[in-house]
């Protein structure tokens, strides 16, 4: 089987910074309460003129530049997004077009929050045929929320942005060695975005399922690869909220310092968050050792991925 390697990450965050102090009066809450509930101090919101694909293109360009790879060398594009502006076509073809890729296959993964993780796992399986696979997560979640006080539990969480990863059969700084994915439609109603109206979330159900499924997926993946949790150099998770990340660290018996966290500055950017976090971590100089990626999202979909 062809080795699948992580070659580079990239990201793009919109210019507008939205602080808790700005949104708290609209939501009828205190800025400190937002921090207590989520660990979030600020998030980015896209400009009215920006689309999900626009954000994705910017992140992809950053990724390819850091990989020293020309767009024409990309053989497959996978774009994860749960906040695209229309039913179809999805943003994948537009992202490919924005990179001036006229005939390269571009596939949409309409998965919220866990989409980038599923994209990385698929890229690992496909890069034997498509040598350079570009995985993009792009979201404009600020257009999926309501700023009414009754919806503050979701409104405080979400931000906008895009992340990208180049998975290559040719070269890279780490090899994807295994992945574990899961889905359970029995809880589909707990976290959803209908064709009209804001995002709907049963917070109690979501956090209960996430705190069970994410640590279990990580533990099962590490166990079958004969690696204790302490051996992992860094844990890169979907940045849902700080509390979930802290709970996962405690469940695994791992120091919180091993979990990269940027949700305090970026908010929950759904399927973009994993790759944005990975890009920030990687650009800071990754330490040697195994990397563990994990995510949980609507569907329900969840999983973990190991790279060494």
Give the domain ranges of the chain.
Answer: 5-168, 174-307
Q: Is the CB of residue 24 less than 8 Å from the CB of residue 196?
A: no
Options 3.40.47.10, 3.30.70.270, 3.90.1300.10, 3.40.50.720; CATH of 174-307: 3.40.47.10
pLDDT at 56: 98
100 CB-near residues (< 8 Å, 6+ apart): 71, 72
pLDDT at 288: 77
pLDDT at 31: 97
Beta carbons within 10 angstroms of residue 105's beta carbon = 14
pLDDT at 1: 62
- What class does CATH assign to 5-168? alpha beta
Whole-angstrom Cα distance, residue 36 to residue 19? 14
Closest by alpha carbon to 295, among 253, 232, 244, 254?
244
- Would 5-168 and 174-307 be classified into the same CATH topology? yes
Query: Within the chain, which residues score under 70 in pLDDT?
Result: 1, 287
Q: What's the pTM?
A: 0.97
């Amino acid at each position: 089987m062809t080795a699948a390697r992580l070659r580079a990450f990239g990201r793009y965050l919109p210019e507008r910074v939205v602080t808790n102090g700005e949104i708290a009066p609209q939501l009828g809450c205190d800025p400190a309460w937002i921090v207590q509930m989520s660990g979030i101090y600020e998030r980015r919101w896209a400009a009215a003129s920006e689309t999900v694909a626009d954000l994705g293109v910017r992140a992809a360009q950053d990724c390819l530049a850091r990989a020293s790879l020309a767009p024409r060398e990309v053989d497959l594009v996978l774009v994860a997004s749960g906040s695209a502006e229309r039913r179809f076509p999805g943003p994948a073809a537009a992202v490919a077009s924005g990179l001036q890729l006229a005939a390269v296959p571009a596939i949409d993964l309409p998965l919220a929050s866990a989409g980038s993780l599923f994209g990385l796992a698929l890229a690992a399986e496909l890069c034997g045929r498509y040598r350079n696979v570009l995985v993009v997560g792009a979201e404009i979640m600020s257009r999926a929320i309501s700023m009414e006080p009754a919806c503050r539990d979701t409104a405080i969480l979400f931000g906008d942005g895009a992340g990208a990863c180049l998975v290559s059969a040719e070269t890279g700084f780490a090899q994807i060695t295994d992945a574990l994915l899961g889905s359970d439609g029995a809880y589909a109603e707990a976290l959803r975005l209908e064709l009209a109206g804001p995002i709907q979330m049963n917070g109690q159900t979501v956090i209960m399922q996430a705190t069970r499924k994410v640590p279990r997926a990580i533990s099962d993946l590490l166990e079958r690869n004969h690696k204790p949790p302490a051996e992992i150099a860094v844990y890169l998770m979907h940045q849902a909220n700080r509390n979930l990340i802290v709970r996962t660290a405690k469940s695994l018996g791992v120091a919180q310092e091993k979990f990269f966290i940027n949700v305090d500055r970026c908010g929950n950017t759904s399927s973009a968050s994993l790759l944005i976090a990975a890009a920030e971590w990687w650009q800071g100089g990754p330490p040697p050792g195994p990397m563990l990626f994990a995510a949980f999202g609507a569907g329900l979909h969840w999983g973990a991925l190991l790279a060494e």
